[in-house]
Amino acid sequence: MKTRKRILLPSSQRALSQLGENIKLARLRRKLTVAQVAERADVSSMTVWHVEKGLPTVAMGIYYKILLVLGLEQDILKIAADDSLGRKLQDADLMAKTRVAN
């Protein structure tokens, strides 16, 4: 079976790379090896390496398992927590529906 190459915008790839770097730094601060994190997260060492490199082919669940091993599982709740654009769009829609009666 042929695998598809994931193509991302440069800004998206930078964001994933930064996330991977943050996870790597968290692992190093805890003085854990890639092998230790892999064993505790029940994934391969190569998968941990892919996460730390910010590769787009890694599933969200794997990120969660690694964050759990590092004690950072609550950080996943910060993703999209403050949806200011969505709130503005919602407010604009509410304002458009309220009309003044003649």
CA–CA separation, 49 and 30 (whole Å)? 16
Q: Look at the chain and report how many structural domains it folds into.
A: 1
Q: Is there a domain that residue 1 lies in? A: no
CATH number reported for the structural domain that contains residue 47 in this entry: 1.10.260.40
pLDDT digits (tens, 9 = 90+) for 5-35: 767 899 999 999 999 999 999 999 999 999 9
Per-residue confidence at 90, pLDDT binned at 50, 70, 90? confident
Question: What pLDDT, on a 0 to 100 scale, did the predictor assign at position 49?
Answer: 98
Question: What pLDDT, on a 0 to 100 scale, did the predictor assign at position 70?
Answer: 97
Range of the domain at 66: 10-97
Q: Is there a domain that residue 102 lies in? A: no
pLDDT digits (tens, 9 = 90+) for 29-67: 999 999 999 999 999 999 999 999 999 999 999 999 999
Work out whether the CA dihedral 46, 52, 57, 58 comes out positive or negative.
positive
